[in-house]
Amino acid sequence: MKKRMLMLLMILSSVLYVSAQELKVTGTVTNAATGAGAEGVSVTVKGSKRGTVTGSNGDFSITANKGDALVFSGIGFVAKEVTVDDATMSVSLEAAAGNLGEVVVVGYGTQRRSNITSAVATVKGDQLIKRPIASTSMALQGFAPGVVIQQGSGQPGADGGAINIRGIGSITGSSSPLIIVDGVEGVSLNDVDPNIIENVSILKDAASTAVYGVRGTNGVILIKTKRGQSGKTSISYNGFVSQQTPTNFPNLLSSVDHMILENEYSTNAGGPVIHNDAKINTYRTTSADNMNVFNTDWKDLIFQNSGLMQNHNIIINGGSDKASFLVSGTYLNQQGLVVNNSFKKYDLRMNGDINLTKKIKFTTDLFYTKSTSVQPGGMSPNEIIQRGISMARLWPGKFDNEKYGDAGQSNRINPVGAAESSGFNHAETPTLSVRFGLSAEVFRNFVIDASYNARTSNTEAYVARGSYDVYNPNPATNTYLLAQVIGDSALNYTNRRNITNQYNISGTYSYNLKQDHQFKLQGGFQALDNRVTAVTAGRQGLPDPNRPYLNLASPTQQTSGGSATDYSLVGFFGRFNYNYAQKYLLEVTGRYDGSSRFSQILNKQWGFFPGVSAGWVISRENFMQDVSFIDFAKLRVSYGETGNQEVGENYPFVSTINAGTAYYFNNVLTGGSSLGNIPNEAISWETSKQSNIGIDLTVLKNRLNVTFDIYQKKVEDNLIDFPISLAQGYTSSSTIPRNAASFVNNGWEFSATYRDKIGKFNYSITGNLSDVRTKTLDTKGRDIVSGNQLTREGYPLFSYFVFLTDGLYQQGDNFTVPSNSTRTTGAGDIKFVDVNKDGIINASDRVLIGNNFPRYDYSLNLNADYKGFDLNIFLFGVGKRDNYISGVAVQPFNAGNWFASGLESALDRWTPTNTDAKYPRLYSGGNGNYVSSDYWLRNGAFMRVKHITLGYTLARNISEKLRIQQLRVYVNTVNPFTFSNYEPGFDPEVSNTNGSFYPIMRTTTVGINLKF
């Protein structure tokens, strides 16, 4: 009996001893690089099967003995062992090479890169800062495959890029993606200073954008700005100064060549000689004196502005464990090439975070920006440049005494006078956005997030037109005589106010079942309302455009107007994530949206948009453990359905009322109103169905990352117009819109990054390549026409509808077969192809050919650094694209509403001695040579060196002596070289030019990054 009691006491003592050593260990795992909680990290007791996984904030709880080793491991992190010596611990994990451990912003939440199952591209803010340019949209160009960003202008304030994600998103509606900055929708991407951006996420497939419902078809761009960090307050300054010049610009004919070619132009059509030999010889032998002989350099006269650009940014960052803040201020001043053309912008951003308790966090974001755009009042910069490249040098532009010539025009409008003295087109837009957010962990792993945003912008614009005097020279008296006063001295004023309110609330619950099963469930609600009001007024007789006040103009001729419109949106969204052993991943999303833009009576306001995606991390399978060169491999598949409500006005399903419509009743003209457009109450949003298959691969010890996606995006219910009879009484429309058309985009995307180092030399190479092909599926038999581009079933969207050509007629050819009754064909004219073989050239011979949307979009990004020096070279290009060129860009002496000259390219026109010419013979009226044909289609493919940046960062030991954290200086050039076979003098990145354009800029920049 005593032995049994002794044995029992020994067992009980052992149990008590072991129990005394066991601890319930709780703690938090964070990312060492960002300080953010690391979700999904495996925590195991070494040598046992006990384990758990960190929650959404990186927290964990596990039972272990004192002295045990806890192993922390996760994809994208370097594994770490920590010995248990206390019941609480904080563990910081270093990121492994590559980006698998980074936290990526997705719709209404975040995910680790390794767990993403849809098509999401990311760009870090540090990458954007290396591109010192005015528009953030252009800074994004080339970073993400499948994201096409096209710049169409270099005009200050209008030099941003048009963004298309995975092709065109609509035939008649908007194809622009939804932009969201720190949860705030509707913000212009170019209003966000790259210096303040932490990262950018681009959601490309419908599985990732389904949570945005009726606004998800065209993709979503999520921007997260920087926030305050606890610790010592730091101050940083980032600034640069740039000189802008055109990337390309056409050259005018000389005065002598102009006269020779204009004579040819006239006499070929049976007209008289315009310039006699004596005049031509005078210009050949006599220097210009601006009285008898002229040699006007229109480009020099028009481009009198400095073209300087400067950008200055200051960021103040600091805080403690309880509260942190970040304040950023930016000033941008961009001068154009044309006089009285500039853009200025002021930004102020304040981001604040307050930890009310360990579980409750309050955030507030205040953003204020004010932009000011100035243009000449009497003519747009594009038109000034268009006239400048087409005015003859022998026409007087500006005399030595600052008086304007008549520019050889019957109406005496002078583009130099229009630039300098026609008044001002001035627009100022202050915008204020305030956001309040609250995040509370109600209980373990259940977090509620709520936010409210109010955003107001108020555009005050006026066009104050002035007048300028035009003179004619009088050689007899060596004086200049007043010929005409140009301009109407009018003032037009507009005030437009835009107010948006946005409300969000969501709840997220994370649950781990043992170690291998991780669940996350999210549900939320969003509401948005917007109202836009506008007031307009105008008066004639403004005495001075520098004093643009209505009361100073004449009250005898005045106008006034106003408008108001609003819309609202309500949505319920949800997401479910399942992760088994970091190997099998599933995500299901959905949104139920209601939009006021469509009919409630016909139940067209509400719709459901689902998305589902799955991932298989192949590299975690047992059969892959012996494949040493593969570090990570994941296969992704996704499908989703989204909508596009941007299909016209806010209420396309109802008629607008046109006030002021008069009608005779009993021979008395009576005022009234009329219906302006033809309503269709059955109108709804356009829809898209998208599928995606992708693979993510990391090999060679995390040196090489590869991503490949192939997708199909089918867009249905496109809004197109159908004709109806005018007899129905509508004043402004003869068509009715219907959701009737559909098309499909098929594409693929490839991206690869290689990183390595040789001693202290670090380098990386990133290459992107993508392609998308569009095919029209159904238009109900209708052709959708847009200029010389047409959309027809079976062809790409917006194909060119043109005649085919077979070179130029030569002497001795049969000019009458096929017959072309619209012209007298001769040698040097364009030879059109009789496609249908009926012996006649007419509209039936036109075909669909070519496409303007870029294909084989590619980029190459090279980075290197060595002992403080850093180098970045970025190349961007398009492998296949067609551009149509017309107007003064190729047709000499014909500008429509003004007298024109020609470009130097016209020297290569057909003549009996130049039969292998590039351009047809000169002929007054064109002789049919300039109708839409493939003769004027140009190869728009190009490769451009977009950026070269060389920087130097001061060594740390020296900067510490100077009491600064960092000092970096750099030089940069944008668009220094372009390689293409495009039309001489024009930029291939600009679409379909007729000579009206603002050239894209080549810039040379000096900058500094300074941090205290």
**CA separation, residue 262 to residues 174, 235, 893, 915 (Å):** 44, 64, 7, 19
Residue 802 CB partners (closer than 8 Å, separation 6+): 788, 846, 847, 849, 850, 932, 933, 934, 937
CA atoms within 13 A on the CB side of 598: 24
DSSP 79-110: -EEEE--SSEEEEEEPBPSSSTT-EEEETTEE
What pLDDT score does 51 carry?
83
Looking at residue 46, what is its pLDDT?
Answer: 87
Give how far the C-alpha of residue 455 lies from the chain's centroid of Cα atoms, to the nearest Å: 21
* Confidence at 21, pLDDT banded by 50, 70, 90: low
Phi, psi of 75, rounded to the nearest 5 degrees = -60, 125
pLDDT at 545: 93
Encode pLDDT of 678-697 as tens digits.
Answer: 778 899 999 999 999 999 99
Going by C-beta distance under 8 Å and a sequence separation of 6 or more, which residues neighbour residue 84? 23, 25, 64, 65, 66, 67, 68, 69, 70
Mean pLDDT score, 69-82: 84
The answer to whether 120 and 204 have CB atoms below 8 angstroms apart is: yes
Cβ atoms of residues 69 and 83 within 8 Å: yes
pLDDT (mean) for 217-236: 93
In angstroms, how far is CA 193 from the centroid of its own chain? 14
Average pLDDT over residues 931-936: 96
Q: pLDDT averaged over the chain?
A: 92
How far CA 226 is from CA of 190, 203, 555, in Å, comes to 17, 20, 52
pLDDT at 729 over 60: no
pLDDT (0 to 100) of residue 288: 93
Which domains are assigned to the chain? 18-93 (2.60.40.1120), 99-229 (2.170.130.10), 353-582 (no CATH)
Q: CA-CA distance, 436 to 364, in Å (whole number)?
A: 5
Q: What percent of the chain has pLDDT over 90?
A: 77
Cβ-proximal residues to 414 (8 Å cutoff; 6+ apart), any chain: 397, 398, 404, 405, 406, 407, 468, 470, 486
Q: Is the pLDDT of residue 992 over 60?
A: yes
pLDDT at residue 72 is higher than 60: yes
Read off the amino acid at residue 483. A
Q: Output the six-digit token pair for 439.
A: 């995040």
- CA distance from start to end of the chain: 79
| pLDDT attached to residue 6 | 54
Determine the Cα angle at 371 with ends 366 and 375, to 5°: 175
Encode pLDDT of 816-850 as tens digits: 889 887 788 999 999 999 999 999 999 999 999 99
Q: What is the pLDDT of residue 626?
A: 87
Provide the pLDDT for residue 425. Answer: 96
- What's the confidence (pLDDT) of residue 15? 43
State mean pLDDT over 624-636: 93
C-alpha to C-alpha distances, 101 to 94, 128, 631, 787, nearest whole angstrom: 9, 21, 13, 50
Of all residues in the chain, the percent with pLDDT exceeding 70 is: 97
Confidence of residue 17 (pLDDT cuts 50, 70, 90): very low
pLDDT tens-place string over residues 346-401 = 999 999 999 999 899 999 999 999 999 999 999 999 999 999 889 999 999 999 88
Mean of pLDDT values over 404-419: 94
- Mean pLDDT is lowest, of 101-115, 549-563, 726-740, 993-1007, for 726-740
Higher-confidence position of 730 and 17: 730
Give the residue with greater pLDDT, 653 vs 1004: 1004
CA 950 to each of CA 140, 385, 867, 972: distance values in angstroms, whole numbers, following the listed order: 19, 34, 13, 6
Q: How far is CA 139 from CA 131, 635, 808, 950, in A?
A: 6, 30, 44, 17
Task: Give the SS3 label for residue 843.
Answer: helix
CA distance to 261, 584, 716, 744, 795, per residue, from 779 (Å): 46, 42, 10, 12, 11
